[in-house]
Amino acid sequence: MKKLTLTVFALVATGFSILAQPSPITIRRSVTRHGPEKGSLVIIGGNVGSQRDIWEKFTELAGGKDKAVLVVVTTATGDSAAFDQKGVEEVKRQTGIRNVTLLHTSDIKEANSEKFIAPLKKATAVYFEGGRQWRIADSYLNTLTHQAFIDVLSRGGVIAGSSAGATILGSFLWRGDTRGAHILVGDHTQGLGFLKNSTIDQHLLVRNRQFDLVDFIRQSPELIGIGLDEATAVWVQQDTLQVLGKSFVAIYDDAHIIHDSNQHVTNGRENFQASSGPFFFLRNGQKYDLDARKVIVESSKAKK
């Protein structure tokens, strides 16, 4: 894996790979290390259900249920989603947002058309449904639609995704192989790159995946790994990450895997912000600085 990892990393360090033909994607030098300069990301580990704090934060960031203009991207679930409004109706029910449009294609030519991206030009929010992340990559990578997603963030909007819709938001596409999610680095390795220099896993503890990212991050130290359990999310603005939901988020950082100077137990006392292992967990309400790569410890006054 090491040779493949390093080769691919050279392509995704800025979030997008080198193409053989011109791309409509505009790449600018970023002032943030991982998160978006403007707008927000809500990255969900799958099976969000009725987890109110996640849906309420997403709705708030979208502009509120009465003003939000939401586009639900159903491509990951397969072609049947073009005719099945079930996922869209569920998002409407959970958020209360009235102005909701389904966006679906498996045709990259259509994704490169001005007509197709029209709903995104007024959108304040985008939500990627789960399924298989390679389908999203095949349909939208480096297209006008991809740029239109970026423009939603640039206008201060929010992009969210659950399960496969979460993984695609990173720059390196984890579990992206068409043969199955058990193949960690496969035939699709480029994500949409909204969370730069990152790789994202989901269904983390429910599916016992918590060790899967360890070796990959060890070999690709510029990337940060984020693993999300079900009904759990991270809300990212610029380089600040905050955990929402009922379970845990794992952070995979080379500094903690190999060069960890912050041990969990020192002088007989536990440091709850550190781990002696290859990753550490964050729970609801905790914040993390993606630039400095450290837990943000708020004072008791700030919490009040």
Condensed to tens digits (0 to 9), the pLDDT of residues 131-169 reads 999 999 999 999 999 999 999 999 999 999 999 999 999
Which amino acid is located at 115 in the chain?
K
Q: Helix, strand, or coil here: 130?
A: coil
Rounded Cα distance, 179 and 183, in Å: 8
- Picking from 303, 268, 296, 298, the residue whose alpha carbon sits closest to that of residue 282 is 296
The radius of gyration of the chain's CA atoms, rounded to the nearest angstrom, is 18
pLDDT at 10: 38
Please name which of 193, 210, 87, 220 lies closest in space to residue 133, comparing C-alpha atoms: 193
Strand pairing class (224-228; 195-201): parallel
- Which of the two residues, 270 and 134, has the higher pLDDT score? 134
Convert 129-139 to b/e letters by CB count within 10 Å (16 or more is b): bbbbbbbbbbb
- Whether residue 144 contacts residue 107, with contact meaning beta carbons closer than 8 Å, is answered with no
* Residue 215 backbone dihedrals phi, psi, to 5 degrees: -65, -35
pTM for the full predicted model: 0.89
Joined together, the tokens standing for residue 12 give 């995704």
pLDDT of residue 265: 74
pLDDT at res. 302:
55
CA distance 208 to 206: 6
Question: Residue ranges of the alpha helices (H) in the chain?
Answer: 2-12, 52-62, 86-95, 108-111, 114-117, 133-140, 144-154, 164-167, 214-219, 254-257, 300-303
Tens digit of pLDDT for each residue in 189-225?
999 999 999 999 999 999 999 999 999 999 999 999 9
Phi and psi at 147, nearest 5°, equal -65, -35
CA–CA dist 180, 197 (Å, integer): 24
